Each structure stands twice: as structure tokens, then as C-alpha cells.
Structure 1
Amino acid sequence: MSAVRYTDGELLALSGIQHFCFCQRQWALIHVERQWEENLWTAEGHLVHKRVDDPFFTESRGDIIISRAFPLVSYALGLYGIADVVEYIRSEDGVSLPDHEGLWVMRPVEYKRGKPKIDERDEVQLCAQAMCLEEMFGIYVDRGDFYYNEIRRRVPLQLSDALRNRVYALSEEMHDLFKKGVTPPAGTSRKCNLCSLQNVCMPKLTKKGLSVRKYVRKHVKEACVEDG
């Protein structure tokens, strides 16, 4: 475990680790520069989460207790946020709960709009949620679950040491960039077409390293040519 400990004033949004893993520039535009734009995918994502984000709703299903919109924090990672769902599952390896008999293990469940990704951006987010639970309650969480709306089923995730180390590394990089107030330069790729911040990021402009003056001059010249 990392020896770094963060204060309340240094905590960053846990949800940002997914953005950071996908694209560091996207994360900086949202979390450092406070820029955001909606697109079809982000709007659908909000609708999916709206169905589960009720912090006052808890239900029991036999040997499972479901708690929604569960507040999370980790001072080792320097992250805070909300888990869509935390399930308490009756188990001899678990811990006791107030007003409930028996022992229970905790498992975070993250709801996603689409389908499983080819990269680990979803995985680091869910793992970070589990690591928050571990720090908050002094427990061990061996796995979490995704519910992907597009395929309408759950996908389990085993929380390996390698994945936990990846989360630590990403959180440290996030804090370093945030402290410096740095927005990394853009690099174009196929994933740019899926990004809601493409119009803000302007990857083709920033990748080429053009100055704003040259960019404006180029487009004024093109406009003059079109006007005849």
C-alpha cells in the first residue's frame, strides 16, 4: 500500500480515474479546466445511473442487502465519490452489520451504459471503489460486478494485485497533474470519435502544435478563399 496520505482538501473525484485511464487530456479538461460537453453516450449514461442513484433506497433480497448511491472515500488514494450500488452478501467470511444477524461481505456494483471495454478504464474505477470500501471498513473485497445496460447482464471482476497497483499509480499521476494544473497535449486516435469533449479538445490543432494566431490566420484565409 502506498504511504502517501491525502487531506480532505486534496481529494479528487473517484470517477475521474476512468477518464484519466481513457485519456489524460480528457481528464484534465474536465477536472482541471472544468470543461464538459454532453453527447449521446454521456446522456444515456446519466439515464442509466438515474435508475440506481437513490441514496435513501435500501432493499433486501434473501441473503443480499442492496444499498444505493453509497458514499466512498480513500485517503490513501486521495479519492472520493459514489458507488452506484454496494451489496452486502451473507457469508461466514464477512463482518457484522447493525440491525442484521449473521456476517456479510461487501461488493461494489457499477452500472454502465454500454458494453465491456477492450481497455481497463472501467476496471480501475470499480477497483478504486472496492479499495475505498476496504479502507473505510477495514475489510477485504475480492471482487466487484459491472452491469452493462447494452448487454443486459452482469460481468464480474476479480480484483488482482496488479489491478490494485494500477489504481495506485493512476491516482498518484492524477494528483501530480492536478497539483501542477497541467493539461497534457492531445494525441489523435480512434477513441477521439467517442469523446464528448472533441470540440473542446481540438486534438488535430493541439497535436500539430499550431499557435492560436496561426490557427486563426489559417481559417480566415480559407474563409476569404471560399467567399471568392
Structure 2
Amino acid sequence: MDYKEEDFLQLSGLQHFKFCRRQWALIHIERQWAENFRTVDGALLHRNAHDKGFRESRGSLLTTRGLAVSSASLGVSGECDIVEFHRGETGVPLPGRDGLWQPYPVEYKRGAPGGRGGDELQLCAQAMCLEEMLCCAVPEGALYFGETRRRVPVPFTQELRQAVRDCLAEMHQLYQRGYTPKVKPTKACGACSLKELCLPGLLRTGTVADYLSDAIGETP
């Protein structure tokens, strides 16, 4: 089943969703947002990466920034930080250039390697969009981490691709319902820019019935 364009979700939401389903819903369903150091620093890192007017050609390498991508089968759209096209034996033909050019998406991240998998999901979704749009295989991409200033290659395995499909299917269901899920607070809540909007501490109090029972000294 293909999604209608008006039902497309933001590709960047995959990283939010993997980090915390409630955070994703607050941002993408309730349209709430707040900044902290991490979000500002990340925005600065992405500023140059999303310069759509930038295109650089060096021999067998063509680099583009801010390339818009979408997938009707996944129901998602967004932008790639960087897509490199490497001339070789696989890929797609490019106007005015000889041979085939293999797409290779690169996503910029502010921290260091070792996250919770959301970065890989987001990058893989970009590759799946490129495959659908360009009709060619995109087997690998890379994450560039600002803290270490190094790339980490990411192979797009069948397991990672299925995880993308599963997450997006759940995101579409929640979005259609307009439902913001509750989650169990964790240590990661302290680093979230939305903690004052989310109020994770209140989620520990349980249900209203539990609260009233505690307040009047009765057990349910």
C-alpha cells in the first residue's frame, strides 16, 4: 500500500521515535518544541550540510547537500544531509556525466558513536527513499560524528530495513490516531529538550485511581 503525499511523515522523526516515542509524538503530533544545548549544537552542525546550493565534483566523486527524498511505500519524506555519487560499475546515469554513479548517503550527527540505533534507522530510511526514487540499490551509507570527526560506515542489512518499516508503520498508526503515548522515564529524560513539556516525573505517579487510593489511604 502506498501512502498519499499529504500523509507523509517527516523522515527525521525516525531518530526521535527510536529515542523516545513520547518525544516523537510531542514534536510531530502535538507540534511542541524546546531548545537546549544539544539541539542548538546539532542545528549548527547541520547548517552547512543542508546548503542546497552546494555541489562539488572531484573526478569520480560528486557531492550534493540537502537533497530532497521521499517514499510513497514508506509514507515518508525529508532531506539527506549529504549524498555522494561515486562513479563505478553500479548506480545510476547522471545528466551530462559518463558512466554510472553509486549513491552514498552521509548523515551528520553532533555527538560520538554509540547511540540507541535511531541514527542508523534514519540513514537507512534515506537510502530506501533513494532506491525508490532512483531505481537502484543503495547498500551502504555513513554516519559522520562531529565529536570524533570521523565516519562510521552503516551497511543497510535486511534486519535494519525491516526495523525502518516496523517503526514507520507504528508511527503512522499513532499519527492517524493523534495519540501521544506514555513511556517509562529513564536517565535519558534528563538530556531531552522537552522534559519541561513532557514532565516525565508525573508519569511515575501511575493512574488517577492509584493517586486517589494513595491520597485517602486505601488500596484498590
TM-score, length of structure 1 as denominator length? 0.89
2:1 matches 1:20: no
Q: Which residue of structure 1 aligns with residue 218 of structure 2?
A: none
Change (3 A) 1:182 1:207: farther
Q: Which residue of structure 1 aligns with residue 80 of structure 2?
A: 83
In structure 2, stretches of 5+ residues that fail to align are 216-220
Q: Distance in 2 between matches of 1:125 and 1:144?
A: 11
Question: Among 158, 161, 167, which residue is 2:158 paired with?
Answer: 161
User: Retained in 2: the 8 A contact 1:186–1:207?
Assistant: no
In structure 1, stretches of 5+ residues that fail to align are 219-228
User: Retained in 1: the 8 A contact 2:9–2:76?
Assistant: yes
Percent of aligned pairs sharing the same letter? 47
Matched to 1:191, the amino acid is A
Q: Deviations over 1:68-110 (max 9, x none)?
A: 0000101111000000011000111222110111111001110
User: Retained in 2: the 8 A contact 1:185–1:207?
Assistant: no
Matched to 1:76, the amino acid is S
SS at match of 2:179: coil
Question: Among 97, 101, 105, which residue is 1:100 paired with?
Answer: 97
Question: Among 2, 10, 17, which residue is 2:7 paired with?
Answer: 10
Q: Distance in 1 between matches of 2:188 and 2:14?
A: 17
Q: Which residue of structure 2 aligns with residue 120 of structure 1?
A: 117
Q: Deviations over 1:172-221 (max 9, x none)?
A: 0000000001000131111111211111101110232365xx8xxx9xxx
User: Retained in 1: the 8 A contact 2:111–2:145?
Assistant: yes
SS at match of 1:35: coil
Q: Distance in 1 between matches of 2:21 and 2:33?
A: 14
2:75 matches 1:74: no
Q: Which residue of structure 2 aligns with residue 31 of structure 1?
A: 28
How many pairs are equivalent? 211
Q: Which residue of structure 2 aligns with residue 225 of structure 1?
A: none
1:46-57 to 2 correspondence within 5 Å? 46-57=43-54
1:121-160 to 2 correspondence within 5 Å? 121-160=118-157
Question: Among 193, 198, 208, which residue is 2:195 paired with?
Answer: 198
Q: Distance in 2 between matches of 1:170 and 1:185?
A: 17
2:31 matches 1:41: no
SS at match of 1:188: coil
C-alpha RMSD of matched pairs (Å): 1.5
User: Retained in 1: the 8 A contact 2:67–2:79?
Assistant: yes
User: Retained in 2: the 8 A contact 1:186–1:201?
Assistant: no
Q: Which residue of structure 2 aligns with residue 224 of structure 1?
A: none
After superposing the two structures, state which structure 1 stretch, 80-89 or 186-195, moved more.
186-195
* Superposed displacement of residue 116, structure 1: 1.2
User: Retained in 2: the 8 A contact 1:28–1:184?
Assistant: yes
Q: Distance in 2 between matches of 1:210 and 1:88?
A: 53
User: Retained in 1: the 8 A contact 2:16–2:118?
Assistant: yes
Matched to 1:77, the amino acid is L
Matched to 1:21, the amino acid is K
After superposing the two structures, state which structure 1 stretch, 96-105 or 127-136, moved more.
96-105
Moved over 6 A (4+): none
